[in-house]
Amino acid sequence: MIFSRSYKLLFVILVILTIISSCSRQKTNDESLNAGVLTPHISIESTDKTNSGDIRSEENDTVLPLVNPGDNYNILAILDGNLDLEQSDEQVLVALPLDKADSSLVLMIASTNPIRNQYDIVWTAPLSTRTLTGITLRSDDLTGNGRSDIIITGFDEKGRHVTDVYAVPKKGEINDFKRVFSLRVKGNIDIVTSERTPGYYSGLSAGDPYRIIVQKKDPESENSMDLIETEWDWDSGLFAFTQGKSKSVRGETIQEERIAQVYAGDVSVYEMFLRGAWYRETGNGSFLDMLYF
């Protein structure tokens, strides 16, 4: 009698578990029918095609400082390069002043002192900000005069893209470096390079100056992909980059160009397209809102 009741109780438990399991599977199937469409979360990027040019970049952990700016400075970035066409290279440093809380970052150039047979700091200039994360310090000939310009980029405390460019005339000395471009914008600042002639690389002729393209969101558009694009061109008379015309770039145009590149590319291009975060535009919210590849 006891065994009979036990079997009946066990049978009832199995029936209940089967019903619960069936309901759970049915709920999952219903939810899967309401799954949303994933859309890539794409940041603002330049649609211009660029090449690497003759950019030189140095990582801070692979370059040792050749000078000591003092205990009141913390070195944040270092670049070795030839800035005056002499035999020995110079060293460029970005340093944070520690003794003055309101002071901007300082750009320094160190060069050889033949009398003392060592490197000394021979030129300094304040940058446009004190806070700069993700610092990139590099050199390139933006003006086309055959001299290396200094480019500092990063992001300030408000998340704005910061770019400072310092250049020197063709026959100028280290002390003749001056700021020729400086901008902070909630968007992108891209230096668009172009192919130069063999005469430029052999030193027989000047090269075409590079352009600087600034992109930011269109404040009058509800589409976050719509941009305002402004071109900055080199003015040799003013020895500075000057702001040119602005134009609107529709988000649909950017998306169409990117999709066309994916269709025309190989597997690696498709992998790059998928890489990053994707978020769901539609659905009932029962699933994860984002995926990452």
Mean pLDDT of the chain: 77
Cα separation of 263 and 148, whole Å?
38
Give the least confident one: 97-101, 149-153, 222-226, 240-244.
Answer: 222-226
Mean pLDDT, range 258-265, rounded to an integer = 66
Q: Which of 19-33, 97-111, 151-165, 231-245 is predicted least confidently?
A: 19-33
Give the Cα separation of 146 and 140 in Å (integer). 9
Q: For residue 10, report the phi and psi dihedrals to the nearest 5 degrees.
A: -65, -40
Over range 228-241, report the average pLDDT: 95
Question: Which H or E run contains 286?
Answer: none
How high is the pLDDT of residue 275? 65
Residue 49 has pLDDT above 60, yes or no: no
pLDDT of residue 257: 64
Whether residue 84 contacts residue 177, with contact meaning beta carbons closer than 8 Å, is answered with no
Is it the case that residue 98 has pLDDT exceeding 90?
yes
Q: What's the average model confidence in pLDDT over 4-17?
A: 50
- Which pLDDT score is estimated for 3? 45
| Higher per-residue confidence, 35 vs 72 | 72
Residue 35's pLDDT band, with cuts at 50, 70 and 90, is: very low
Region 58-68: what's the mean pLDDT? 71
- Tokens 């990117």 — which residue? 258
Direct distance between the N- and C-terminal alpha carbons of the chain, in angstroms, rounded to an integer: 61
User: Rounded to two decimals, what is the model's pTM?
Assistant: 0.66
Tokens of 7: 């079997």
pLDDT band at 102 (very low <50, low <70, confident <90, very high): confident
Output the pLDDT for position 161. Answer: 92
Range among 2-11, 110-119, 278-287 rated most confident: 110-119
pLDDT band at 56 (very low <50, low <70, confident <90, very high): very low
Q: Are 182 and 175 in contact (CB under 8 A)?
A: no
**Which three-class secondary structure state does DSSP give residue 163?**
strand
Percent pLDDT > 90 in the chain is 42
Q: Can you point out the beta strands (E) in 218-258? A: 227-235, 240-249
Q: Does residue 109 have a pLDDT over 60?
A: yes
Write the pLDDT tens digit of every residue in 163-212: 999 999 999 999 999 999 999 999 889 898 889 999 999 989 999 999 99
Percent residues over pLDDT 70 in the chain: 65
d(CA 252, CA 81): 42
Which of these ranges, 42-56, 72-86, 199-213, has the smallest mean pLDDT? 42-56
